[in-house]
Structures are given as C-alpha cells and as structure tokens.
Amino acid sequence: MFRGANVSANTGAIVDQELINRASCGRLGAHGEGAWTPTETDIQQLEPVLLERLVPELARDTEIYEVQAPSPGDYIRRYAGVTVQGRRVIAICGEAASLYEERGEDWRTSYIPFRDGGATSFGAYYDPATRTITYFEFGFVA
C-alpha cells in the first residue's frame, strides 16, 4: 500500500502497484510486467513534466465538454513504478481531492470506485529515462 515517502504529504504519495490496480487508474498497473519503487527524486522530476501535459489537457477538456474541470492543484496523485514492454515507467493516478474529502476517506490508503469520472480523474505513464509523459487519459473507469 502506501510506502510513506514524503513526496508531498498533502498531494502525492508513492504507493504499491496493488493500490494503483485497485484505484480508478487500475488499467495502468494491469499492463505492468513488474513493479519497482520510484524515488522522491523521480517524482520531483516528473511533476513539472506532468503539469506541462495536464494544464493543456484540462483546458481542452473544459472547452470540448463545456464543464469546469478541476485545476492542476486540485488533484491528489499516486505514483507506482511498473515495467511496461521492458521499460521502467511511473504510473500516475490523479483524482480530484474533493472525491475523498466529501466522503472522509484517506486517499493514501483507500480508493473510491466510480465510472467515467471525466476530468475528475486521470492516468498517465512517465518515463524517467526520457523524462516524458508517454501516455495520458482522463476519466478512468474503476
């Protein structure tokens, strides 16, 4: 479950692949061929790259669907190291913090199943070797 790394206690946590599999981003971990643990340095390098991708994706989603999407700071993020097609990537599961706040759930150790959350959830792969987001999608199905 939660590994306790001090990524940012309020917004991000390095977790086991098992929690990614159970959370709304389960498809990310399900494609993994193996697990590894990213470091805090990996996550610190990932965050600016993720924001560069997330901000325009949110703007596009807001324009297409004419809904107010969460802002980048509204997401909690879980990170798990997985191996996909022989490459070590970091699976990122982002969910609107309000989903957990409204239910009094601790996002670090639990998950809330939901379907097609639109921009309230996203999943992504980050490749630390190339420092790029190699996959991104909103609205994972739990």
Alpha-carbon distance of 51 to 67, in angstroms, equals: 20
Tell me how far CA of residue 41 lies from CA of 6, 70, 91, 92, in angstroms: 11, 26, 15, 15
DSSP 114: -
Stated as kind and residue range, the H or E segment containing 91 is strand 87-96
How much is the average pLDDT of 108-118?
69
Least confident of 15-29, 84-98, 126-140: 15-29
pTM (two decimals): 0.80
Better pLDDT: 142 or 48? 48
Better pLDDT: 27 or 82? 82
Alpha-carbon distance of 45 to 93, in angstroms, equals: 16
